[in-house]
Amino acid sequence: MPAGYRPDDALLPAELARRDGLAYALFLPESPPSAGLVVLHGADSAKESHYDFARLAAASGPAALCFDLRGHGDSEGALGAGALSDVAAMAGRVREACGGGPVALRGSSMGGWLALCAAQTARAAAVVAICPATGSGLRRGVREGRFAFHADADGFEALAGEHDELAAAAALGERLLLLHAEGDEQVPVTVSAELHAAAPGSRFIRVPGGHHRSIQHDGELQAASLRWLLCGLVNSSS
């Protein structure tokens, strides 16, 4: 155990920094990681909202990175046409931290849509999408000013128009896990049901009751998604 180590050090990010204007927090396990994951928050949220899952993941072995999407938190710029490239850049930072090992994505709501659509660009080994939004719903929300975050409306609308979440899910197939609360008042559970149907071999956990944010911080469901991610990361590296 290193000199000066405190038990609560594991609760703190090993690295708080910026890359290309993106503010991120990197959590590392005690032993050098051989895999990693990027955690994507939803609209009008921030990286800190998912530190709980990042800590859980790092305690199980992988490196875990949370970052503020552009237009959110401490990141620079507006969310727009480069959002998927930003996810890939953060995946690259995690890949550096785990020695070039496989990297997975875990996203909630808008972050779920981004995780699906960025999977190919980010070379994701697996994706967990929690109550994922749709591209059409996000475009409508940005256009109507329903979000508080700073957006490049034209750039984001072009991005969302170019990427189809159903096609992205189909390309992932068995590398995709979907979780959705039946009581979700913002994104209907039928969205995940359609994604599951489009992705042969995918897994779908349909949770009775709940609401749009309830799954993100449920300990049992966090553990279930982490077990699935760990299996996916191990299989991709073998």
- pLDDT (tens digit per residue) in 144-165: 999 999 999 999 999 999 999 9
Indicate the average pLDDT of the chain. Answer: 94
Against a cut of 0.85, is the pTM above it? Answer: yes
Q: What is the reported pLDDT for 232? A: 86
Which comes out higher in pLDDT, residue 139 or 238? Answer: 139
Q: Which domains are seen in the chain, by residue range?
A: 11-233 (3.40.50.1820)
Mean predicted confidence (pLDDT) in 41-52:
97
DSSP the chain: --TT--GGGGGS-SEEEEETTEEEEEE--SSPPS-EEEEE--TT--GGGGHHHHHHHHHTSSEEEEEPPTTSTT--S-BSTTHHHHHHHHHHHHHHHTTT--EEEEEETHHHHHHHHHTTTTT-S-EEEES---HHHHHHHHHTT---S-B-HHHHHHHHHH--HHHHHHHHGGGEEEEEETT-SSS-THHHHHHHHHSTT-EEEEESS--TTTTTT-HHHHHHHHHHHHHHHHHHH-
Q: What is the reported pLDDT for 184? A: 95
| pLDDT exceeds 70 at position 9 | no
| pLDDT exceeds 80 at position 8 | no
Kindly state the percentage of the chain with pLDDT values over 70.
Answer: 95
Kindly state the percentage of the chain with pLDDT values over 90.
Answer: 90
